[in-house]
Amino acid sequence: MAESIELTEEMKARVGEQGPPWTYELTTTSVRAFARGVGYTDPVYYDVEAAKKAGYRDLPAPPTYLGTPVFIPGRCSDTFSGPSEGAPTIEHGLKGLLDGGTETEYFDQVCAGDKLTVVQKVAGIDVRSSKQLGKMLIVSLETSYTNQDTGKLAAIQRGQVIYY
């Protein structure tokens, strides 16, 4: 449990920094696997003809699934598969990590066959207290997903990472 943590000027300076663009891919297999994994049974996630009848270009990405980062050994995080080089980091010394939740705002269809350019930035940083965890560092992230074929912004995800 963290007794104290202070926001340093170096930490605050990370707000607004963004990581390098990275490619995420959606395949028919990945769309089907994600849909199956979360229990979706709607045929649009499995049958291309059903998807097209429903107005999609191909199998639509299930809610919150925006593809799989292209993994390049030595250039990616072994845990999260995204880029490790050039990604903003916040030195805090805390050992605990929690997912603080994510919300997704869609602007365009995301379907199997799409390749998305993904850019993540540090949107905010704050310190809060918890009875169980003590002082927590909350890092807010904003991630944009742009379709490489159309150049259109497809979605934005906003989430928090909690360090304690």
Residue range 109-138: average pLDDT? 95
Encoded tokens for 125:
């940083």
Encoded tokens for 53:
């009848």
Residues 44 and 73 in one domain: no
Structure confidence by residue, pLDDT tens digits, 38-69? 999 999 999 999 999 999 999 999 999 999 99
Beta carbons within 10 angstroms of residue 65's beta carbon: 20
The domain total for the chain is 2
Kindly report the CATH number assigned to the domain that includes residue 151: 3.10.129.10
What's the length of the chain?
A: 164
Q: Yes or no: say if 14 and 88 are a contact pair by the CB < 8 Å rule.
A: yes
Closest CA to 109 of 61, 151, 145: 61
Residues 71 and 49 in one domain: no
Range of the domain at 59: 27-65
Q: How far apart are CA 43 and CA 25, in angstroms?
A: 21
Check pLDDT > 90 for residue 82: no
Instruction: Provide the mean pLDDT of the chain.
Output: 94
Is 0.75 surpassed by the pTM of this model?
A: yes
